[in-house]
Structure 1
Amino acid sequence: MTQSIEVAKDDFQTVSAGRANPALFQRLNVEYYGTPTPLMQLASFQQPEARVLVITPFDKSALKDIERAIVNAPHLGVTPSNDGQIVRITMPELTAERRKDYVKIVKDKAEQARVAIRNVRRQAMTDLDKLTGEVGDDEIARAEKELEQITKQSIEGVDEALKKKEAELLEV
């Protein structure tokens, strides 16, 4: 369940709030010599200004591939420019409509995390049912109660992270 919360937080970081953030490119794969390679392994990132991100590839021959991957990424909505050495990305100012779209995306990611937590709970309940006969009913009842408490805390953790990201997205 803890992993589900961490994955949700990582997913939230990949949604832009109008500021340049290297985490936006965390899951972006670049076709590098025919192999999908994470951008984070191909380049370094600098943030000279709040809405500008500079990507410096370790191998200059990958510059066009990196630029193509950024253009083709549907969730970013940015247009990179390169000067032959680096790729410069200026994050556009978010419109109210775009912010609401991002909030919908984040809410969907949060729901996926809640479903994952519930799946873990379901599996744990199945495992507890298999222990019937080997362990006393009081112990099973106590474990089920504890499992429900942990599940509730985990879902609250996702909701709290969602609330923070939502506030960040709607902040002008």
Structure 2
Amino acid sequence: MQSVINDCESRMQKAIENLEREFSKLRTGRASTGLVETIKVDYYGTPTPVNQIASVSVPDSRTLTIQPWDKNAFSLIEKAIIASDLGLNPVNDGVLIRISMPPLTEERRRDLVKLAKKYTEDCKVAVRNVRRDGNEALKKMQKDKELTEDEQHKGQDEIQKATDAFVKKSDDTFTAKEKEIMEI
């Protein structure tokens, strides 16, 4: 029974980690390496993330710099950033690619909050699916006489407590991200 509960908690934690990863890709007013790290560049015919062919850094809160290790990658990285839907304009000076973060409009901020809300709801659905899987596993164990009915109910209560904790954590993460997005 404890292994089922531990498995559920670890899967719920992965859902939260995925939510945080999605949030790191959302553009706020601040520069973040997470914005461009997952952009795929067609590097010698292979879609490669930017962070695998270049150094990405944040010299100040409104600027990102990308320093490709291969001189041939400059134009490829530039094209990939322009093609992404982030609305960023890279400037190539031959040594670095600089990206200045333009301030977000009110409308764009609201759109980002809606997107963050969608990611949060997806995370909650994933957590609830894990709860369902855990409860089904406990019911199967009880049916196979591996657990008593009381143990099954106790296990379901523990899984519900974990579910409530992770749903609250996803809401708290969303609230923090919403505050960050709406901050001017």
Give the structure 1 partner of residue 44 of structure 2: 33
Q: Does 1:171 align with 2:170?
A: no
> In the TM superposition, what whole-angstrom CA distance separates every residue of 1:103-156 from its partner, at most 9, and x where no partner exists?
011111111111111111111111111112321000000000000000000111
The SS at the match of 2:67 is: strand
Give the structure 2 partner of residue 7 of structure 1: 18
TM-score, normalised to structure 1's length? 0.96
2:153 aligned to which of 141, 160, 168: 141
* 1:23-172 to 2 correspondences below 5 Å: 23-74=34-85, 76-132=86-142, 133-172=145-184
The SS at the match of 2:87 is: coil
Report the alpha carbon displacement of residue 50 of structure 1 after superposing the two structures with TM. 1.6
Gaps of 5+ in 2: 1-11
The SS at the match of 1:60 is: coil
Q: What is the distance in 2 between the residues matched to 1:157 and 1:85?
A: 42
Q: What is the distance in 2 between the residues matched to 1:138 and 1:24?
A: 49
Whether contact under 8 Å (2:113, 2:178) holds in the other structure is yes
Whether contact under 8 Å (2:37, 2:56) holds in the other structure is no
Q: What is the distance in 2 between the residues matched to 1:124 and 1:9?
A: 23
Report the alpha carbon displacement of residue 86 of structure 1 after superposing the two structures with TM. 1.6
Q: CA RMSD in A?
A: 0.9
User: How many equivalent residue pairs?
Assistant: 171
Deviates more, 1:151-160 or 1:130-139: 130-139
The SS at the match of 2:57 is: strand
Deviates more, 1:96-105 or 1:39-48: 39-48
TM-score, normalised to structure 2's length? 0.90
Give the structure 2 partner of residue 21 of structure 1: 32
Gaps of 5+ in 1: none
The SS at the match of 1:7 is: helix
Give the structure 1 partner of residue 4 of structure 2: none
Q: What is the distance in 2 between the residues matched to 1:149 and 1:23?
A: 32
The SS at the match of 1:30 is: strand
